[in-house]
Amino acid sequence: MEPVSPRQADILDLARRVGRVEVDKLAAGFDVTPQTIRKDLNDLCDRGLLQRVHGGAVSSSSVSNWAYDSRRNLAEDEKRRIGAATAALIPDNSSIMLNIGTTTEQVALALRQHDGVMAITNNINVANILREAPGVEVIIAGGVVRSSDGGVVGEATVDFIRQFKVDYAVIGASAIDADGTLFDYDFREVRVAREILAHARFTILAADKMKFERNAPVRIGHLSEIRFFVTDAPPPEPILAICREHGVQVVVSGEIEESES
């Protein structure tokens, strides 16, 4: 196999650092045509080094997630809107569990204005976001802290979650399959996510549209187990059909903002 070109090497490095690269931005940055960038991306995808998505490409790994700080910058505005729309579903004076993820961190940011909320999490970042909110009591699970993302995982975490029955559970997912299956990368975190879903009266999935373009190896569950699916764009029709069949309410954050303006 021929070595990649210097420009392709730079594209690979950028994709690994920020998670996703887009054709138009790459074309402007390298001062070449979009067609040239598409050829580069197609070549890198054919080699298995990147994975094609609409408008660009992402890191091809399906067994390890992107760097956590990089994922914070990925679809940042979309996640913020999803966070606000999710928090709007949660009333004051309720209990909630939130798991690990950059999207659930945005939910936590939007929850800081709530009152009378008890928030249980296995996410150190969520705990830090909420700890100074005057109307929120924060309870953090015990267990092993992952250095990569501040997630708390392990048997002790699962046992801790089992003590509770909360009003709302908010989880994220790294990938959503066309058949409605929800996936993540770390089997330890998936065990915690399953317990969170099992110990809530209402379940909320907060995930942006990029999750339909990604792959991950560990099954969390299925959309049929979710009560509310909050996202940033209308899901593909097969997903909408699954939601209709199982009574899952789809909340599109952009549509909410348009109706309020």
Tokens of 57: 């490409």
Measured between alpha carbons, how far is 78 from 67 in angstroms, rounded to an integer? 19
pLDDT of residue 3: 75
Strands 175-176 and 218-222: unpaired
Which domains occur in the chain, in start order? 6-60 (1.10.10.10), 70-260 (3.40.50.10470)
Q: Provide the residue count of the chain.
A: 261
CB atoms within 10 A of CB 226: 26
Highest mean pLDDT among 67-81, 144-158, 189-203: 189-203
Q: What is the CA angle 23-212-26, rounded to 5?
A: 10
Residues 6+ apart with CB under 8 A from 115: 92, 93, 134, 135
- Residue pair 210/22 in contact by the 8 Å Cβ criterion: no
pLDDT band for position 259 (cuts 50, 70, 90): very low
pTM summary value:
0.74
Quick one: pLDDT at residue 17? 66
Predicted pLDDT of residue 74? 56
Residue range 34-48, pLDDT digits in tens:
999 999 999 888 887
Compute the distance between CA of residue 187 and CA of residue 193 in angstroms, rounded to an integer. Answer: 10
> What number is the average pLDDT over the span 169-190?
91
